[in-house]
Every structure is written in structure tokens, then in C-alpha cells.
Amino acid sequence: NAGVTQTPKFQVLKTGQSMTLQCAQDMNHEYMSWYRQDPGMGLRLIHYSVGAGITDQGEVPNGYNVSRSTTEDFPLRLLSAAPSQTSVYFCASSYLASSYEQYFGPGTRLTVT
């Protein structure tokens, strides 16, 4: 199993550009989520999904969109990048009922200039 994979590893955007961060898992996990990590602020939840076709907002959803068309994939879209979105983004997945452990992807380091 590859576990949770994310692409790209690094990305530089100009203010106003849009892009999609990709996340995929091959563990048949129902629950998938996106976090951003900023220095001194821990991991903050952006959006999450409890299954295909079901998404909901987390703590810091503004400026981001998600969709979940399949169990495996959970892309995060930045609509119009802003310098405040410079961060490290982690995708995570877990089973919904039988286990609470969340498995994290390797992260995407995004810089917005």
C-alpha cells in the first residue's frame, strides 16, 4: 500500500493564481481531511469528508474548495491564492468507525508571493 500520497511536494504561486493540491489514499478509508500547518499554530482543519459526495467545513475553510467524487481522492482547490495561504498542507485519512488513527500524507509546501 502506498498509504496517503500528495502532489506536488512544493509549489510557488503568484497572488491571484489558482491551483489544486492532490491527495489520494489506497486504504479504503471513509474519512479524509485537509490541514494547514503554520509555525506555532499546530494543525488546523480546512475541510473534511466522511465519504464520497459528502464534505464539510473545518476551522479555516475560507479560500479553499474541496470535492469527493471517489473514496480514494480528495483534492483541495485554492481559488485565488493569497500570501496568507503560504503554509504546509497535509492530507489525512482514517476509517470512520473502527479506528480513529489518522494517517497523514507527506505534505505540500506552498508559497504564495
Q: What residue ranges bind other proteins (CB under 8 A)?
A: 30-31, 33, 35, 40-45, 48, 50-51, 54, 56, 58-59, 90, 96-97, 100-102, 104-107
DSSP structural state of residue 73: B
Following CA atoms 19, 78, 22, 73 in sequence, which dihedral angle do they give, to the nearest 10 degrees? -130
CB of 69 to other proteins, least distance (A): 18
**Whether 108 contacts 9, CB under 8 Å:** yes
Count how many Cα atoms sit within 13 Å of the Cα of residue 59 in the half-sphere of its side chain. 9
CB of 44 to other proteins, least distance (A): 7
Q: Compute the distance between CA of residue 3 and CA of residue 91 in angstroms, rounded to an integer.
A: 11
**Residue with Cβ nearer other proteins (35 or 64):** 35
**Residue with Cβ nearer other proteins (17 or 50):** 50
**Residue with Cβ nearer other proteins (63 or 107):** 107
